Structure 1
């Protein structure tokens, strides 16, 4: 009997007026698997993420965590149940330092509250944890910089550090390398690969860069006009006529477009 998926959506749908942004999408996601969600601009990828993580309320359908219906739960309640989300746009405390941002996430995960000054100086284990996360995203040398003053690429790396600090069961990355230089991208890709390699985490990735998708994904699902149009192993999905036309802009025979 198949194991209960970590995450599942059943006929998940949202309408904005007469527009159906996500149309009855049903998918199940297992631990140890990285699923890339691709599709043209406006396909519904980020909206689907927002429905899963609770930023948007579904018009109909369900979101299940480990078989339990969480469709009515808030985003923060879903986070407490092990769902982690890194946003396409950075979601930081801009007036705090890099270290303060990470230490708050570490303290929260450890159940030590969100005090900026209390407890922290006495918890060397939490300090070491925060420093190790900053080192992992190559920001340790900027630990005292103000988060809002960081270049966009560094803000994205800090956001990944915050997500890692929460130690979720489900990692959701929305274009994690957007705005990064070519030199910065490998740091994030290596981190995502290491999360996947653990084998006990479920990873979802919205990504436009097909080289990133090919290097990381075990599975690709394709959204087009809000509907699920392809789902399977990367090579087969990328080669399918519907993806060649809808996503890559190629004719159905797969030859280069004129």
Structure 2
């Protein structure tokens, strides 16, 4: 805990059932401002499903989710995004048929309250483009600003997702395996950016990740899910050395992956 009066994001008994299978089972967790929490667990543990419940891709069977103490359990994805909860992939999908710069410029416009109007006065258009280019440069996409976003390779699209998140300046940022599918050269760009985001103590970051080196370099805290249950929650060293986590990962290569 960081001494905040209340967590920025919290779940209370969050659960989802698919037929007879409970994929996320009664998960209660709090996420404080200025922290980065890694959500880990073996395959099928419920990590991405938990993310989907928080961001609104799935409807909870039971339990509730709160953002700044407002109940967002029944809100659609768009409303949760508007209130400051951003998950990377949902943003790229909104602008996939525009150029890379247009993607980010529209995100800048949205943040400025201008909406999605692409027909703007020349001076304002230039100002917004310059701000968009700033975010593109930060993620290493400035040279690709004029290409269609849909033509970017997978790694480029992941970088564009981060640029959109930066441009929207949301309070809660959710990354689901942010370096997955990236080349060795592209990975440091994203990890450096997440380090920068983490340094902003007004941001709260949640990250599903498998790579232990990434987790140890970024996470302030680890939550472990196993068979849909939250089985451990705490500082990285403490969590990864706990008997219940060692048992959960027995035979799964805990030294290399979680």
Residue 188 (structure 2) pairs with residue 186 (structure 1): yes
Shift of 1:241: 2.4
Structure 1 segment 175-254 matched on structure 2, within 5 A: 175-247=177-249, 249=251
Tell me what 1:131 maps to: 133
| Contact 1:82–1:168, Cα closer than 8 Å, also in 2 | yes
| Contact 2:85–2:172, Cα closer than 8 Å, also in 1 | yes
- Tell which deviates more after alignment, 239-248 or 222-231: 239-248
CA-to-aligned-CA distance 1:186-212 (integer Å, 9 cap, x gap): 111111111111111111000011110
Task: Give the superposed CA RMSD.
Answer: 2.0
Shift of 1:240: 1.7
Taking the aligned partners of 1:128 and 1:15, their CA distance within structure 2 comes to 46
CA-to-aligned-CA distance 1:140-160 (integer Å, 9 cap, x gap): 010011111111111110111
Find 1:26's aligned residue among 21, 25, 28: 28
Distance 1:31 1:221, change over 3 A: same
- Tell which deviates more after alignment, 83-92 or 207-216: 83-92
| Paired residue secondary structure (1:63) | strand
CA-to-aligned-CA distance 1:16-72 (integer Å, 9 cap, x gap): 111101000000000011000001111111110111011111011010111121111
| Paired residue secondary structure (2:63) | strand
Residue 20 (structure 2) pairs with residue 39 (structure 1): no
Shift of 1:110: 1.0
Residue 70 (structure 2) pairs with residue 68 (structure 1): yes
Residue 165 (structure 2) pairs with residue 155 (structure 1): no
| Contact 2:42–2:252, Cα closer than 8 Å, also in 1 | no
Shift of 1:2: 5.2
TM-score, length-scaled by structure 1: 0.92
Tell me what 2:50 maps to: 48
Shift of 1:242: 2.3
| Contact 1:108–1:114, Cα closer than 8 Å, also in 2 | yes
